[in-house]
Chains A and B, each alone.
Chain A
Amino acid sequence: MMAYNEEQFLMLSGLQHFVFCRRQWALIHIEQVWEDNVLTVEGNTLHEKADDPFVREKRGDTIYVRALPIHSYTLGINGICDMVEFTKTTKGITLANEDGQFAVKPIEYKRGAPKKHDADIAQLVAQVLCLEEMLQTTIDEAALYYHETRRREIVEITEEWRDKVTAMIKEMHQYYERKYTPRVKTGKHCKSCSLQHICLPELLNKESVLAYIDRMTRE
Chain B
Amino acid sequence: MKRLLNIVYVSQSDVYLALNGKNLVLLKEGEELGKIPILNLEGICTFGHQGASPALMATCMEQNISLTFFSSSGRFRGRLTGAINGNVTLRKKQYEVSMDELESAAIARHMIVGKIYNAEQNLKRTIRDHALRVNTERLTQVVERLKQARKLAFSITSLEELRGIEGNAASAYFSVFDECILQQKEDFYYKGRSRRPPLDRVNALLSLAYSLLASETAAALEGVGLDAYVGFLHRDRPGRTSLALDIMEELRPVIAERFVLKLINRKQIQASDFIVKENGAVLLKDDARRSFFKLWQEAKQEQVTHPYLKEKIQWGLVPHVQALLLARFLRGDLDAYPPFLIR
Contacts and interface: CB of A to CB of B under 8 A. Distances in A.
Q: Do A and B come from one complex?
A: yes
Interface of A: 30-33, 35-36, 179-181, 183, 197-198, 200, 202-204, 206, 208-210, 212-213, 216-217
Contacts of B332: 180-181
B23 interface: no
A180 B332 CA distance: 9
B92 to A, nearest CB: 8
Given A200-B328, A209-B337, 5 more contacts: A30-B89, A31-B87, A181-B333, A209-B334, A210-B336
B10 to A, nearest CB: 27
Contacts of B117: 216-217
Contacts of B113: 213, 217
A196 B333 CA distance: 14
Nearest to B332: A181
B307 interface: yes
Interface in B307-340: 307-309, 324-325, 328-329, 331-339
A179 B307 contact: no
Interface in B42-66: 64
B311 to A, nearest CB: 8
A24 to B, nearest CB: 14
B87 A210 contact: no
A209 B154 CA distance: 13
A36 B224 CA distance: 12
B341 interface: yes
Interface in B123-179: 150, 154
Contacts of B337: 209
B150 A212 contact: no
A33 B87 contact: yes
B327 to A, nearest CB: 8
B331 A181 contact: yes
Contacts of A203: 309, 325, 328, 333-334
Given A183-B333, A197-B2, A206-B308, A212 B87 contact: no
Contacts of A204: 333
Contacts, number: 74
Interface residues of B, number: 34
A213 B343 contact: no
Contact of A200 (B154, B324, B339, B343): B324
Interface in B276-335: 307-309, 324-325, 328-329, 331-335
B90 interface: yes
A38 B307 CA distance: 30
20 contacts: A30-B89, A31-B89, A31-B90, A33-B85, A33-B86, A197-B1, A198-B224, A198-B324, A200-B328, A202-B309, A203-B325, A203-B328, A203-B333, A209-B329, A209-B334, A213-B154, A213-B339, A213-B341, A216-B117, A216-B307
A213 B324 CA distance: 18
Nearest to B336: A209
B225 A217 contact: no
Given A197-B2, A217-B150, A31 B225 contact: yes
Nearest to B113: A213
B331 A31 contact: yes
Interface in B220-246: 224-225
A206 B307 CA distance: 12
Contact of A209 (B64, B89, B338): B338
A193 to B, nearest CB: 14
Contacts of A33: 85-87, 90, 224-225
Contacts of A36: 64
A31 B91 CA distance: 10
A172 B41 CA distance: 37
Nearest to B343: A216
Contacts of B341: 212-213, 216-217
Nearest to B333: A203
Contacts of A209: 110, 308, 329, 334-338
A65 B140 CA distance: 79
Contacts of A213: 110, 113, 154, 338-339, 341
Nearest to A214: B154
A197 B2 CA distance: 6
Q: Which of B2, B117, B332, B334 has the most CB of A within 10 A?
A: B334
Nearest to B1: A197
A79 to B, nearest CB: 20
Contacts of A210: 335-336
A33 B323 CA distance: 13
B88 interface: yes
A212 B110 CA distance: 11
